[in-house]
Amino acid sequence: MTPSENKVVIFLGPPGAGKGTQAERLAHEEGLTKISTGDILRDHVSRGTELGQQVGPLLDAGALVPDEVLIALIRNHLAGMKAVRVIFDGFPRTRAQAEALDRLLEDLGAPVTAVPLLEVPDRLLIERIVERGRQAARRGEAVRSDDTEEVARKRQEVYREQTQPLIDYYGTRGSLRPVDGVGTLDQVYGRLVEALG
């Protein structure tokens, strides 16, 4: 596996910033695998692997899966790749997870390429989330429980508390790439590609 083939992108951004949409497009256009720890966990549980048997009861109880188990899952997932070309969306969530992931990636010779941070003003984020709820209601679809102004504000607070340490961590390591998340999907995507160089 040659280092030049490797590409590791970690997406950061508040709820409603459009991370999921942009990560999907980037994965598709750059030939990257989008990694969701939740999807990997559920896959192991459904296949009844040793790890799956370990985490199944935790997921059923709504408990947090220990960091060392998450890292083992990711190591297992990445070990089968010829080149490590991935996007992490929703992981890491803590500085301890970020440090453990960095150690794993260094072992694999695939350090973090960049950490794009989608930046959108709080006021606009809340408008977007509430509008998403309105649109769903208009179409006669179930409105997500988090698509209300009150819940949206709470999620922004939680995001800031949890993510600021990650922003600081990747900032000091020189891999953070702030990206203006205001504009059309194409405008934001263009800035994102530019930031990733």
Identify which has the larger pLDDT, 188 or 13.
188
What pLDDT score was predicted for residue 14?
A: 87
Sheet holding 7-11, edge to edge: 7-11, 85-89, 33-35
Token pair belonging to 13: 């951004």
d(CA 125, CA 139): 21
Report whether 132 belongs to an annotated binding site: yes
Report the catalytic residues: 19, 93, 134, 144, 155
- Predicted structure pTM score: 0.82
89 pLDDT band (50/70/90 cuts)? confident
14 is in an annotated binding site: no
| Beta-carbon-side half-sphere exposure of residue 53 (alpha carbons within 13 Å) | 3
Q: Could you tell me the pLDDT band of residue 4, with boundaries at 50, 70 and 90?
A: low
Output the pLDDT for position 93: 85
Q: Is 37 annotated as a binding residue?
A: yes
In this predicted structure, what is the pLDDT of residue 179? 97
Q: Does 183 show up as a binding residue in the annotation?
A: yes
pLDDT interval class at 33 (50, 70, 90) = very high
pLDDT band at 102 (very low <50, low <70, confident <90, very high): very high
pLDDT of residue 65: 84
At which residue do the structure tokens 């350090």 appear? 111
Q: Which CATH architecture has domain 3-120+177-192?
A: 3-Layer(aba) Sandwich (3.40)
For 43, 50, 120, 143, the CA distances from 34, given in Å and listed in that order, are 15, 23, 22, 26
pLDDT at residue 22 above 60?
yes
Supply the pLDDT for residue 3: 46
Q: What percent of the chain has pLDDT over 90?
A: 49
pLDDT in tens, 145-183: 667 888 888 888 888 888 889 999 999 999 999 999 999
7 annotated to a ligand binding site: no
What's the rounded Cα separation, in Å, for the pair 83 and 57?
Answer: 33
Q: Is 83 annotated as a binding residue?
A: no
